[in-house]
Structure 1
């Protein structure tokens, strides 16, 4: 296992002081980098560990913040903040660009080799960066199969991978179809993986089924989804020693 260095980075976005988690691989050379967007409740140790795992694979990784250093445990409070955000592509892009600026400013980052992945709200932000024409090598989104403003998906310049649970009532079959139609019409190189039996936030081990209906952890499919993301990065953003 390689030695990973981590630190908290503070930066302004969405009128807040965000507290991201930066993970650096061993060495001093420039490396490809990955932006990681968290679920609606915000940045947690789960996504921090994801950043650390990617750093162990040789990537510079930044897990970005949504709520100014807070993790919102109350479901209603979370929805009250997140739903207006999801309805505002420009706000989502602002949060994404602010984090991307931090990642690009890191001396270890190769600014020409960056991917964006995300979960739920964080995945929607990754997609909006693509729709905004950001030069990314790959976009991966789990449970964040949002559609954008008409025509803007044509600005996506990289492969898009999306994963969703078959039993996810939030990302319904109709939403999946709308996402697929948008990507196809825009000529995007896209993939959609539907994980059988999985609900919303199936990737997150701390999710309690009682929190919200249709939300629950599925260990087997969570492991598969993570491997699919690692494979996406290996294909589109390989680490070369």
Structure 2
């Protein structure tokens, strides 16, 4: 029985050597591809498994790195790196473009059929790729209803789906409203799903280090958010089209 394959990829970005996780579907032909961005702590087994799950569905999937191979489990260290990054769209775009170049260069990837999804900081990177005018087929984010520089959302050329927990103190109602207003004013095909009772990072299984306030796992809503992301990809980037 043919199964997916995985490998580690190293590439430069943001002055660091990034270490991504590439998952390839069974077979030999080109397939649509998905870029996957992690939460602010960095790339972990959670994103590895998501890349592998997408490969099982027929996608080439690259879970990209934010911190040069490091996982920042200390909240102060994580915020010290992520807050300046989130305030600098050009740095986020640089990280996103570097990973996108790796994904598009993979021989199994159909370079014209790529989507970007992301969680937290990784979701903000995905949105900035859209605001930079990258030709993506879909953008999906969880915990990242971030806004960008004035007028740049008009460059987004694909549907945008965003999910957020109703009790997320990091992405509160005012931030959701600002994101919705930006997308609407730019004429983007957008959707925003609010998952009742969920905190920030509700999709992320429990970790073995203390979670910051306002962060917590909600297994039921995590399953729903994953199914919503798969539905987005099925609609905008169907695997079956790669076989025609």
TM-score where L is the length of structure 2? 0.97
Structure 1 stretches (4+) deviating beyond 2 angstroms?
A: 206-210
The CA distance in 1 between the partners of 2:119 and 2:207, in whole Å, is: 13
1:103 aligns with 2:103: yes
Gaps of 5+ in 2: none
The one-character-per-residue Cα deviations of 1:102-132 (angstroms, maximum 9, x if unpaired) are: 0000000000100000000000000000000
Equivalent-residue separation in structure 1 for 2:19 and 2:42 (angstroms): 11
The answer on 1:13 being equivalent to 2:16 is no
Task: Quote the Cα distance in structure 2 between the aligned partners of 1:162 and 1:113.
Answer: 20
* RMSD over equivalenced CA pairs, Å: 1.1
For residues 100 and 206 of structure 2, the distance between their equivalents in structure 1, rounded to whole angstroms, comes to 27
1:44 and 2:53 aligned: no
Cα separation, 2, equivalents of 1:72 and 1:53:
24
TM-score scaled by length of structure 1: 0.98
Q: Which residue of 2 aligns with 1:233?
A: 233
Q: Is the CA contact (8 Å cut-off) linking 1:118 and 1:125 kept in structure 2?
A: yes
The Cα offsets for residues 72-121 of structure 1, whole Å up to 9 and x where unpaired, read as: 11000000000000000000000000000000000000001000000000
Asked if structure 2 preserves the Cα contact closer than 8 Å seen for 1:2 and 1:25, the reply is: no
Confirm whether residue 83 of structure 1 aligns to residue 99 of structure 2: no
**Aligned partners of 2:89 and 2:148 also within 8 Å:** yes
Paired residue secondary structure (1:134): coil
Structure 1 residues 161 and 2 mapped into 2: Cα distance closer, same or farther (>3 Å)? farther
Distance in 1 of aligned mates of 2:210 and 2:135 = 40
Partners of 2:157 and 2:52 lie apart in 1 by: 27
Aligned to 1:156: 156
- Asked if 1:205 corresponds to 2:199, the answer is no
> Could you say if the C-alpha distance between residues 204 and 2 of structure 1 is closer, same or farther in structure 2, counting changes exceeding 3 Å?
farther
Shift, 1:211, TM fit = 1.8
The structural deviation recorded for 1:209 is: 9.5
Does the 8 Å contact 2:73/2:209 carry over to 1? Answer: no
Whether the 8 Å CA contact 2:2–2:27 is kept in 1: the answer is no
- For 2:10 and 2:35, the matched residues in 1 are separated by 15
Aligned residues: 241
Report the CA distance between 1:51 and its aligned residue. 0.1
